Copies of this chain bind each other. A is one copy, B any other.
Amino acid sequence: MNQKTHSCQQKLRISRDALEVIQGKWRLPIVLALTFGNKRFGELQRDISDISPKMLSQELKALEENKIITRTLYDSMPVVVEYSLTPLGHSMKKLLDEILIWGAHFRKEVLKS
């Protein structure tokens, strides 16, 4: 096995680790929304307009487990919950930027709109 093949294999392994975490219809959109500042459940639901509370709750939990976001409960009246990015979450900004850059490019080239 030569250098190139070895490097290819290694990169494929890393990409699959990353993909497991960012897979799914909603995870990156949620992280993206949180790059605009900390938000509450209802705010996220309004921003990501067609996500259901079930999916939002489920995906927030998964992101929390993967240490990408933090859930903070403020014991005020009424009870308020705030979601924010962890340092690991913030470290996704460049990745998100590149997805947006490529997405805009793709839209222009293929979707033609």
Contact = CB atoms under 8 A, between A and B. Distances in A.
A80 interface: no
Interface in A79-104: 88, 91-92, 94-104
A15 B88 contact: no
Contacts of A102: 18, 91-92, 94-95
Interface of A is mostly: helix
A88 to B, nearest CB: 6
A101 B97 CA distance: 14
Interface string A5-23: 1011101101111110111
Given A15-B96, A19-B99, 11 more contacts: A11-B100, A12-B33, A12-B47, A16-B25, A16-B29, A18-B102, A18-B106, A88-B109, A95-B99, A95-B102, A98-B98
